[in-house]
Amino acid sequence: MNRLPLSSDWRLTFGTQLPRGVLVLLLVAAFLAVAISAFALWRERRRGRTLALLALRLLAVLACLMVAFEPRLEFGQVTAVPNYVAVLVDASRSMRVAPPDRGPTRAERSAALLASAAGTFSAWEGSGHKIEFYGFGEALEPASRTAPPEPTGEATRTAEALAELRTRFAGRDLAAVVLVSDGIDNGRIGRGPLDADTRKTLEALAAPVHTVRVGEPELRDLSVAAVLADDFAFVRTPVKLEAVLRHSGLGGRVVEVSLLRDARTIAAKAVLLRKESAQEKVLFDFTPDRPGNYVFEIRTPVLSGEALQTNNSQVFTLKVIRDRVRVLHVCGRPSWNERFLRSMLRLNPNVDLVSFFILRTDTDEMPLGRDEMSLIPFPYKEIFDEQLKSFDLLIFDNFNYKPYWVGPYLPGVRAYIEGGGALAMVGGDLSFASGLYGESELQAVLPVALASIPREGPGAWTGDSYRPRLTAAGRTHPVTALDLEAKANAARWARLPPLVGMNRVAGLRSGARALLVHPSHKSKDGKPAPVLATAQVGRGRSLALLTDSAWLWGFGAAGAGDDGRAFQRFWEGAIRWLVRDPALALLRLDLDRVEYRRGQSALLRTRTLRSDFSAAPAVEVALELRRAESADGGDPLLDFKLVTGADGESHTDLGGLAPGAYRLTGRAALDGRGVEVETTFVVRPEGREFDDVVARDKVLREIAQASGGEFHDGALGSPPVRPPRKVRVGSSRTIEIWSNPLVLLLALALLGAEWTLRRRTGHA
């Protein structure tokens, strides 16, 4: 421990061994003895003799106390132990803010402030103080007087920095703390008041904390300070997205606030920035129309003279999931297939069913009008024009669109499917080519080709009995997975009762897959005639079941000894595949979070599964990372491949990414078919540092007041510091005043003199 030069010193000590209680009684007795004597003498009012008697009594009592307390004089040498002044400089990113005239930033002004305080620092060092410099933001870091810390911290945690300072200086004396900051705190104390823990920290420091604010007299800035939204939402359920705007120096302006989804503006509102308030709230009502991971952004324009341009927007993600699958079931006429399918859908708690079936066609000879061809008038316009996007899945069950004025709406149905919707078409004598779909817009989205297939006759429909055969794709596809184990699944399909009737097609459209085929019939392309086929259509999916006798997989199978649930399992698997149920994903990309801070590593867990959802080891997965703020995503930022381990997993560190929204896409081949999944995440641009950049003094004033320090604005000045602590380093000589016998004789002599004087003067 460094010390200052030695100096001479003396002190008075007491060597008595008497208990403390006895010493207190002696002091009380001495006081009473003097007080009683003074009172008695005062009553006689003989001034000269009274003072002499009182002086003798006081001197005698003091002599007796000296004997009892054993006073001694110690002469020795002392030295002062240097203590410390800790200078804390705000190193958070908000210190990069510059005034409207584009003058020096707060960090540059704080550096100039320290330079101008060189005289004060030199005076402190000359008085025996040591000065240490620190930068603080998220944590306390050592710094240099000549090289102030760079403002890179993603947060300002003032109270936490003071607590860490207390730990660093445990066992060392603090003369004072100087804290230079813009007063923006997004840690424990926020905007104040100080909490109990911070007050205890200030008490434990046992030193004044002098605070210095670095700010601007005027600042113009507009920021999207916060977005209040849930982590997930339900399809077709309205959600509220609330943005908190903070502004300074822009009162009276009207700005347009926009809500964007995947880089496309979906809503905008005009907001008045009131002069009497520094904060405004903007509420957007949004109803998700389909599930998925979406990137949203709330944005304000960058106004002239703003201090910052990077805090005018906030990007966030919203995961949209289904509460229930909404299904529209339209049937051309009542049938056993319609009855079984509608009953199964109606009893499924995860399905919200809207069902229509036609009682007669306009060619039936009945004295009824066109509006009475179903139980209620068929609301084709409301369904296919106004409410189409509210459905997750359309099922056309042996339905001929032509007589029911649906034709003009089929282009919209096609766009709905290509945009992410789903279509299942069930066969029969009113479906596929027999329903004139080869001439409609839906031909482009069906899994089968209908070109050159006649509307009627054997070329369009065959009524023979047959047992369909699983294809290679059908053995592993989730639609045809009646059992998770491949061999058991194939055996179960082989045991199901035969079907009756099948629609003829020209073949499969490009990219489609046949899952079930006829055992002997061929399509026009010479390949086995498909009975069940699926296709990816743009962002949507479609399924073609080219028979209306699939109900036999339920009713007929139960009569043949099966559990009778094959029909239900088939349709449950079909619906889950059509609406892209995440539970069916065999490739899964799991990030450790959905939001990251600047520079924070994004950790990815990749999992590959078989059709029975067991781990699929040694699978090669291709990954692409693109920006999600733009519609096309641009060129990949990362494009690489990995191979999962024996447990079907792989862990990857994507590294620290620049601020923005990202879309990660993974592709792999699992069980013989290609799988593609994607997920989104956000890297926050500035943490919370730039949510509100207006300099404040409230917290700084409270810290100074609670610690006994001073608050300064823009300059340090010469605040007081605690002097160094003095330490005795040795004792050269000790004089025991009480040990001389003359002291006791003096006490006795004084008491005797007082008694003699009292007797001669006639005092009692």
- Write the DSSP symbol of residue 557: H
Confidence of residue 639 (pLDDT cuts 50, 70, 90): very high
The separation between CA 230 and the C-alpha centre of its own chain, rounded to angstroms, equals 10
Q: In 3-state terms, what secondary structure has residue 762?
A: coil
**C-alpha 577: how far from chain center:** 32
Domains of the chain: 11-80+733-761 (no CATH), 83-214+695-723 (3.40.50.410), 221-321 (2.60.40.10), 325-580 (3.40.50.880), 584-683 (2.60.40.1930)
> 32 φ, ψ to 5°?
-65, -40
DSSP H/E element including 465: strand 461-466
Looking at per-residue confidence, does 756 or 257 come out higher? Answer: 257
The residue written with tokens 């699958």 in the block is 325
Asked if 361 and 401 count as a contact pair (C-beta separation under 8 A), the reply is no
What six digits make up the tokens of 273? 């920035």
* Cα–Cα distance, 512 to 86 (Å, whole number): 73
SS (H, E, C) 164-195: HHHHHCCCCCEEEEEEEECCCCCCCCCCCCCC
Cβ(150)–Cβ(96) below 8 Å: no
pLDDT bracket for residue 363 (50, 70, 90): low
Gap between the Cα atoms of 295 and 156, Å rounded? 28
| Percent of the chain clearing pLDDT 70 (strictly above) | 85
Give pLDDT, residue 728. 57
Which of 450-454, 632-636, 692-696 shows the lowest per-residue confidence on average (mean pLDDT)?
A: 632-636
The counts of H helices and E strands in the chain are: 15, 37
| Residues 687-720 pLDDT 10s | 667 777 888 899 999 999 999 999 999 898 889 9
Q: What is the mean pLDDT of the segment spanning 607-636? A: 82
Residue with tokens 């990251």: 596
DSSP sequence for 322-386: -SSEEEEEEESS--HHHHHHHHHHHH-TTEEEEEEEBS--TTS--S--GGGSBSS---HHIIIII
Residue 236 pLDDT class (50, 70, 90 cuts): confident
CA dist., res. 159 & res. 137, Å (int): 11
Q: Output the six-digit token pair for 386.
A: 């106004």
pLDDT over 90 (residue 427): yes
CA distances (Å), origin 75, targets 13, 66, 449, 501, 733: 11, 19, 114, 121, 5
Decide if pLDDT at 530 tops 90. yes
Separation between Cα atoms, residue 582 and residue 321, nearest integer Å: 9
Residues whose CB is less than 8 angstroms from the CB of residue 545 and which lie 6 or more positions away in sequence, other chains included: 424, 425, 426, 427, 531, 532
Task: With both helix axes pointing from N to C terminus, report the angle between 106-116 and 118-126 in degrees, rounded to the nearest 10.
Answer: 40
DSSP H helical ranges for 497-644: 555-559, 566-578
- HSE (side-chain half, CA atoms, 13 Å) at 175: 24
User: What per-residue confidence (pLDDT) applies to 373?
Assistant: 45
Looking at this protein, which amino acid is placed at residue 158? T
Residue 93 is encoded by which pair of tokens?
Answer: 């990113």
Residue 632 has pLDDT above 70, yes or no: no
Cα gap 640→356, rounded to integer Å: 49
Closest CA to 178 of 115, 104, 84: 84
Q: Say yes or no to pLDDT of 256 above 50.
A: yes
DSSP per-residue string spanning 239-262:
EEEEEEEEEES-TT-EEEEEEEET
Distance CA 62, CA 142 (A): 58
Least confident of 130-134, 286-290, 353-357: 286-290
User: In the prediction, which pLDDT does 764 show?
Assistant: 52
Report the candidate in 257, 286, 251, 283 with the shortest Cα–Cα distance to residue 271: 257
Amino acid identity for residue 186 in this structure: N
Direct distance between the N- and C-terminal alpha carbons of the chain, in angstroms, rounded to an integer: 64
pLDDT given at position 375: 47
What pTM does this model have?
Answer: 0.63
The mean pLDDT of the chain is: 84
Does pLDDT of 10 surpass 70?
no
pLDDT band at residue 479 using 50, 70 and 90 as cut-offs: very high
Q: Beta partners for 315?
A: 297
pLDDT at 366 over 50: no
Structure tokens at 363: 């060619």
Binning pLDDT at 50, 70 and 90, where does residue 763 land?
Answer: low
Nearest to 237 by CA among 317, 298, 299, 326: 326
Mean pLDDT of 603-626: 89
Residue pair 71/738 in contact (Cβ under 8 Å)? The answer is yes
Cα 694 → chain centroid? 24
Q: What is the model's pLDDT at position 231?
A: 77
- What are the C-alpha distances in Å from 501 to residues 233, 339, 463, 535, 650? 43, 18, 4, 22, 48
Q: Which two tokens stand for residue 3?
A: 């010390």
Alpha carbon distance 597, 138 (integer Å): 13
173 or 634: which carries more pLDDT confidence? 173
- As to burial, measured by CB atoms within 10 angstroms (0-12 exposed, 13-18 middle, 19+ buried), residue 339 is middle
Of 363-367, 406-410, 671-675, least confident by mean pLDDT is: 363-367
User: DSSP letter string over 511-551?
Assistant: T-EEEEEEEEEE-TTSSEEEEEEEEEETTEEEEEE--S-GG
Nearest to 724 by CA among 46, 78, 35: 78
Tokens matching residue 671 = 């069980």
> Greater confidence, 446 or 275?
446
CA nearest neighbour of 601 among 681, 691, 663, 676: 681
179 contact partners, CB below 8 Å, separation of at least 6: 88, 158, 162, 209, 210, 211, 212, 700, 703
pLDDT at 374 (0 to 100):
45
